[in-house]
Amino acid sequence: MADTSLCRLSAVETVDLLRKKKVSPLELIDAAEARIAETDSAVNAMVIRTFDRARARAKTLKLPDPETPGWLGGLPFGVKDLSDVEGVITTFGCRVHKDNVAQRSCISVQHLEALGGLVVGKTNTPEFGAGAQTFNEVFGITRNPWDTRMTCAGSSGGAAVALASGQVWLATGSDLGGSLRTPASFCSIVGFRPSPGRVASGPGVLPLNTFSQNGPMGRCVADVALMLDATAKHHPLDPLSYPAPSVPYARSASNPVAPKTVAWAGDFGGACTYDAEVEAICRAAAERFREIGATVMEKAPDPEGARESFQIFRGHHMAAGNGKLLQAHRELLKPEVIWNIEYGLSLTSEDLRRGLILQAGVQQRFARFMADVDIMCIPAAPVPPFPVEMRYVEEINGRKMPSYIDWVLGASIVTMAGLPAVSMPCGFTRSGLPVGLMLVGKPRGEAGLISAAKLFEDIMGIAKRLPIDPIVRH
């Protein structure tokens, strides 16, 4: 019988056991399979299983030197069902692609597998990652393990749930307007959106796109740093990617340096709207940086133009990737995807020029702001987890959301600034639902951000509560 107690170890602890040959990759695959069997009927996170593929690869593993940064040594992980794994179905959460088998793995998966990562399954995602709520017509709804009546958010919702439930030790995610950070907040795990080009991605239809980024997801900061080391490198098919850092990110987690200045940016001067309880929890959490000697101030950069430029480039992104699909299979697409593609197709050259100019202004103002600040903080999600029956949040504190994606505007603003960001568990609502604080770093400031996140994690002590058995409520 598989030892599912292994699933309660961190990725770093488990890799250490692999390095010392105290556990085998096959034992870990067995443990992951057993844990998925125990938990997934309640949450529906791991929607495609690849245990046979993982076992076949485990038996022929060719590993680099165990001291290689990001060495995984046979560690099972999950892949979001927007990313290709060779020989495995990639549905993108869409009925059109329900039988689509990938011919090759995406760049991130290639890098992870080269260091000994073993794919044990694909995690659920909304259709084409559109909408921060994980449901689709292929696999159905993914539920929050803290309360199965609630959503896990999205679009990396299945990944966040698989981690929180102990199904895998690491999971891939991707983030355009909060798709890593929002589900991390809703599930009390760590979701890291890196700087553009830090994690090579693709190949895709828009290789010079700086907005959608792949990033690591884990149950603690050290695990995320390990996964970032495995994927932070150049690949010729991603022209924005750049070489690995000279000092591994794992060192920033094991020997963190405290930030000197922390800014609570709140609602960016009224641009965003937050649930009152969520805002209070996040504000109090940001103040705790004082405990490690940081100066905490209330200060925010100007986000003018961020929302408009984000809507323009999100629409452009959706139209470029799925415009032909709309013409051929409109009846198989969900309404939000149809709206977003049509908006993208309606954009003029003047719209795109305006978007570029607005985005440049946002990036430059935020970069100047971060020159005097080590870490900026805002709520990772504006509301706590909400019922799975809701497609998206339509109103916050009486303020109507203009579109299906506007409820995560804070995350979108950070996207347009081009800054690295991480969602960190920071507390729970009175009803016991998770809340996350977003820490934002300097341009290409992953090392400093990981340091700050590790120290914050130690202060809060929440990571020790994971993984959890799904709390099934009706």
Query: Which residues are annotated as catalytic?
Result: 80, 155, 179
List the beta bridge partners of residue 375. Answer: 262
**Cα(153)–Cα(119) distance, integer angstroms:** 23
Which residue matches tokens 């069997």? 37
Dihedral angle sign, alpha carbons of residues 468, 182, 458, 163? positive
Which residue matches tokens 């990562």? 117
Query: Checking DSSP bridges between strand 140-141 and strand 143-144, what pairing results, if any?
Result: unpaired
What is the DSSP code string of 414-438?
HHHHT--EEEEEEEE-TTS-EEEEE
Cα–Cα separations (whole angstroms), residue 382 to 11, 128, 153, 279: 29, 23, 12, 8
CA 297 to chain centre: 27
Cβ proximity of 438 and 410 under 8 Å: yes
